[in-house]
Amino acid sequence: MLDNDIKKYREEINTKGFVRIPEAISKELIEYCIEDIQKATDIDTYYDQNGFLRRIEKLYDKGQSLINLNNDITKILSIIFGFDFVIFKDKYNAKPPNGEGFFAHYDGVFYFINESNKQERGWYKYTDYFMNVLIALDKCDEENGTIELSCAHKGGFDKLLQNTKKNGTPDIIESVEKQLIFESVELNVGDVVIFSNTCPHRSSKNTSDKSRRTLYYTYTKQLEGSYYDQYFLDKKNSKNKSSKSLSGEK
């Protein structure tokens, strides 16, 4: 599952906040996962402003192949970081031809209004350490809108929030984005990208004639317990009018 470059992967994570790991997941497992996604029920589905399927959430355990994939990812994270992880949230990004991209943003750095009209600190309501894993289900390149990453920013919620539009999304203000250098991360099927939620990232519209499908999982430290169910309950009950799920296109 992993090659002999563990030390290199750790160094890249420590210096940049992100790392690409080629062929981390077998193509066979990817094919089975796609089948499980297509059959999944009891999920949350979102469409973009043009009516294209944008994402599906709550599916990491909707089929044995998806369960196996999550187990493989947590093993990879444990080997690289030296401690155990548990899934925090999950999504399948469809990005079909002409599918929208996302503005540059952090993950989890925003305020939301809960069901009691109280302001909550985005993902940081739960904990302050998040690691994302993007799994390529298709070849991802500049033409079909692959992820673009910039080096992780330091600081907690309050500091990072100052770089955002403060509109209910974690989108980064233009003056900050202009100062950043983004790396377009090209991926083959089965490649993964591991990156901190504090890495600014974005993607462009899919201008190709093929979909750019990915799975995008976020993990927290296992020793702190699982926030998965609470996160999705809070998201369901949130009174925010804006949502990166719907309005973050580029």
Residue 149 CB-half CA count within 13 A: 25
Q: Confirm if 19 and 131 have CB atoms less than 8 A apart.
A: no
Check the CA dihedral 202-130-220-185 and report its sign: positive
Token pair, residue 133, equals 């894993």
Mind listing the pLDDT tens digit of every residue in the chain (250 residues)?
576 799 999 999 999 999 999 999 999 999 999 999 999 999 999 998 888 889 999 999 999 999 999 999 999 999 999 999 999 999 999 999 999 999 999 999 999 999 999 999 999 999 999 999 999 999 999 999 999 999 999 999 999 999 999 999 999 999 999 999 999 999 999 999 999 999 999 999 999 999 999 999 999 999 999 999 999 999 999 988 665 444 444 4
In whole angstroms, what is the distance from residue 36 CA to residue 15 CA?
36
Give, in degrees to the nearest 5, the angle at Cα 198 between 190 and 248. Answer: 75
Q: Confirm if 213 and 206 have CB atoms less than 8 A apart.
A: no
68 assigned to some structural domain: yes
Q: Which residue has the tokens 């093993």?
A: 75
139 assigned to some structural domain: yes
How do residues 92-111 score in pLDDT, each as one tens digit? 999 999 999 999 999 999 99
Q: Confirm if 153 and 200 have CB atoms less than 8 A apart.
A: yes
98 assigned to some structural domain: yes
Give, in degrees to the nearest 5, the angle at Cα 37 between 133 and 220. Answer: 30
How do residues 146-200 score in pLDDT, each as one tens digit? 999 999 999 999 999 999 999 999 999 999 999 999 999 999 999 999 999 999 9
CATH number at residue 146: 2.60.120.620
Q: How buried is 124 (Cβ within 10 angstroms: 0-12 exposed, 13-18 middle, 19+ buried)?
A: buried
Question: Where in the sequence is the domain holding 83, given as residue range(s)?
Answer: 6-236
242 assigned to some structural domain: no
Token pair, residue 32, equals 């089975």
In whole angstroms, what is the distance from residue 212 CA to residue 137 CA?
8
The amino acid at 235: K
Q: Total domain count for the chain?
A: 1
244 assigned to some structural domain: no
